[in-house]
Structure 1
Amino acid sequence: MTAILPKFQKKGYGHQAIQEIEKQYPEVKCWSLDTILQEEHLVHLYEKLGYVVCRTEPVQEGMDLVYMEKQC
Structure 2
Amino acid sequence: MKICRATENDLPEILDLQYLAYQSEASLFESNDIPPLKQTLDELTDEFNNGVILKLVTEEDIIIGSVRANLKDKTAYIGKLMVHPDYRRKGLGSKLLTEIENCFPQKRYELFTSTKSVDNIRLYQKMGYVIFDQKEVSDGLVFIYMQKQ
Q: Aligned with 1:65: secondary structure?
A: strand
Aligned equivalent of 2:134, options 20, 42, 56: 56
Q: In the alignment, is residue 67 of structure 1 matched against residue 142 of structure 2?
A: no
**What are the within-5 Å matches in structure 2 for residues 1-72 of structure 1?**
1-28=80-107, 30-71=108-149
Q: Provide the TM-score with structure 1 as the length reference.
A: 0.85
Q: Aligned with 1:27: secondary structure?
A: coil
Shift of 1:37: 1.3
Amino acid paired to 1:57? K
The unaligned stretches of length 5 or more in structure 2 are: 1-79
The unaligned stretches of length 5 or more in structure 1 are: none
After superposition, the C-alpha distances for 1:26-71 in whole angstroms (9 at most, x for unaligned) are 232x100011111100000000011000111112333210000001
Larger relative contact order (CA 8 Å, sep ≥ 6): 1
Of all paired residues, the percent bearing the same amino acid is 31
Q: Aligned with 2:113: secondary structure?
A: strand
Q: Which has the higher helix share?
A: 2
Runs of 4+ in 1 over 3 A off after TM superposition: none
Alpha-carbon distance in 1 for matches of 2:147, 2:95 = 18
Amino acid paired to 1:48? K
Shift of 1:10: 1.3
Higher Cα radius of gyration: 2
